[in-house]
C-alpha cells in the first residue's frame, strides 16, 4: 500500500458517542440498545496534537470528520481540532458530516469560519427525519443549519431515501434551496442486506428489544441502490455471494488518495470500513480483521496512535502486508480474502451507487 510519506487525507472519528440511534448503524442494536461490544472513547485536543504533529498536518490535502459510531458534534474538542488543523495548514480542506441536532448557534457560527463544508445528514422533513435519525430533534437541526449558513458556512444536505420519505425528496430539495444549502443529495442506502442477500425491510427495535416499526426500501427503483440489486441478482444467496467475494477484483478506494482512518480509540486503519471492528452480533476478537490485528506484535495496540507514531503504524505490517495480502484471491482458511474489502471495493460499487441512479 502507500507509505506514511504519501498520506494526504485523514478521516477522523472524534468520538464513539452519539446523540442519535440510527437503526442501521452498528452503534446500536437496530435503533435500540447501545452496542455492548463498542468501547466508549473520545479523542481530546491533546491526543490530536500528539497524533498529528504540525509538519504532518502541513502536508495534508483534506481532513474530514465522519466516523463509524459517533457524531463529532457531541465531542468536547471538535471545533478546537478543526482550528488546530487550519492553523497549521491554511490551505487544507476541512469537512464535517453530522446529524446537526445539538450545540448552540454560536458553536455552529464558529465552525462556519473554519470548515470548507458541513454535510448535514437529514433523512426527511420534520415529520419523518426522526424515523431514521432516532433521537434527533428538528428544531435543533434548524438552529444549527440557520446559524451555520447565516454565518457564511457552506452547507450540504444528504438525504437517505426510504419508503417513508421518498415522497418528500422534491419538497426537501426546495427547502434546502430556501435555507441556502449549496447542495442537496438523495442517497440510495446499501444497508438493506442480510446474510448475503438483499432484503426489503428491516425491523426497528426499542431499548428493550421490542419491535416498533419497519424501515423499508423505496418503492421507486430509481431510489434503490443499483449495485446492491446487482449483487443480489448475480449471487442469489449466501453460497454464491461468498464466491463473488472470493473472486471479484478489488480496487481500494482509499489507496487512490493515500487516506488513513483514525478511530475514537486512536486506532489507525486504512478506512472506516476496516475500522468497523465492533458489531453487535459478534464477539470482540472474532472475524477476519481481528485475526489480522491479533497477529500483530502488540495486537490492537500495534495500531494505536496513542502508543505509536503514525509513521510506525502506516509503514508497519498491517498496512504494508496484512491488508494488501487480504486482496489476493481466496487461498483457504490460512489465507482468506478480506470480505470487507471485496464488498466495498469490489466490482459492484455500493458506495458509488449511493449517489448514482440505476442505469
pLDDT of residue 113: 97
pLDDT of residue 233: 84
Handedness of CA 307, 115, 144, 163 (dihedral sign): negative
pLDDT of residue 196: 79
Among 185, 325, 340, 345, which residue's Cα sits nearest to residue 256? 345
CB distance 30 to 203 below 8 Å? yes
pLDDT of residue 238: 62
| CB proximity list for 332: less than 8 A, separation 6 or greater | none
pLDDT of residue 281: 84
pLDDT of residue 242: 86
pLDDT of residue 336: 77
Phi, psi of 334 (to 5 degrees): -70, -35
Written as nine digits, the cell of 226 is 443499483
pLDDT in tens, the chain (359 residues): 999 999 999 999 999 999 999 999 999 999 999 999 999 999 999 999 999 999 999 999 999 999 899 999 999 999 999 999 999 999 999 999 999 999 999 999 999 999 999 999 999 999 999 999 999 999 999 999 999 999 999 999 999 999 999 999 999 999 999 999 999 999 999 999 887 788 999 999 999 999 999 999 999 999 999 999 898 888 776 678 888 899 899 999 999 999 999 999 999 999 999 999 999 888 898 999 999 999 999 999 999 999 999 999 999 999 999 999 999 887 766 667 999 999 999 999 999 999 987 55
Amino acid at each position: 500500500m502507500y507509505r506514511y510519506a504519501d498520506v494526504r487525507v485523514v478521516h477522523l472519528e472524534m468520538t464513539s458517542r452519539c446523540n442519535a440511534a440510527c437503526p442501521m448503524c452498528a452503534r446500536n442494536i437496530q435503533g435500540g440498545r447501545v452496542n455492548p461490544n463498542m468501547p466508549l472513547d473520545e479523542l481530546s485536543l491533546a491526543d490530536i496534537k500528539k497524533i498529528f504533529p504540525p509538519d504532518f498536518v502541513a502536508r495534508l490535502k483534506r481532513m474530514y470528520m465522519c466516523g463509524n459510531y459517533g457524531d463529532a458534534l457531541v465531542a468536547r474538542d471538535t471545533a478546537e481540532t478543526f482550528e488546530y488543523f487550519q492553523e497549521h495548514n491554511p490551505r487544507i480542506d476541512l469537512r464535517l458530516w453530522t446529524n446537526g441536532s445539538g450545540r448552540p448557534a454560536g458553536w455552529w457560527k464558529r465552525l462556519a469560519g473554519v470548515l470548507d463544508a458541513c454535510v448535514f445528514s437529514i433523512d426527511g422533513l420534520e415529520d419523518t427525519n426522526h424515523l431514521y435519525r432516532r433521537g434527533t430533534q428538528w428544531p435543533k437541526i434548524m438552529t444549527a443549519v440557520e446559524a451555520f449558513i447565516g454565518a457564511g458556512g457552506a452547507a450540504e444536505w444528504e438525504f437517505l431515501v426510504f419508503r417513508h420519505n421518498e415522497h418528500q425528496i422534491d419538497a426537501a430539495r426546495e427547502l434546502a434551496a430556501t435555507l441556502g444549502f449549496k447542495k442537496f443529495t438523495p442517497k440510495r442506502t446499501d444497508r438493506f442486506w442480510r446474510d448475503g442477500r438483499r432484503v426489503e425491510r428491516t425491523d426497528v427495535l426499542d431499548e428493550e428489544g421490542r419491535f416498533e416499526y419497519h424501515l423499508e426500501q423505496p418503492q421507486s427503483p430509481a431510489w434503490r441502490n443499483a449495485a446492491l440489486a446487482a449483487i443480489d441478482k448475480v449471487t442469489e444467496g449466501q453460497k454464491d455471494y461468498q464466491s463473488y467475494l472470493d473472486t471479484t477484483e478489488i480496487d481500494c478506494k482509499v489507496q487512490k488518495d493515500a487516506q488513513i482512518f483514525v478511530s475514537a480509540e486512536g486506532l489507525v486503519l486504512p478506512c472506516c470500513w476496516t475500522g468497523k471492528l465492533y458489531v453487535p452480533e459478534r464477539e470482540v476478537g472474532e472475524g477476519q480483521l481481528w485475526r489480522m490485528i491479533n497477529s500483530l506484535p502488540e495486537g490492537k495496540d500495534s495500531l494505536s496512535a496513542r502508543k505509536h507514531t503514525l509513521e510506525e503504524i502506516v509503514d508497519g505490517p498491517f498496512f504494508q502486508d496484512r491488508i494488501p495480502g487480504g486482496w489476493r484471491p481466496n487461498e483457504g482458511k490460512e489465507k482468506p480474502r478480506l470480505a470487507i474489502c471485496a464488498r466495498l471495493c469490489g466490482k459492484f460499487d455500493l458506495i458509488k451507487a449511493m449517489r448514482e441512479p440505476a442505469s
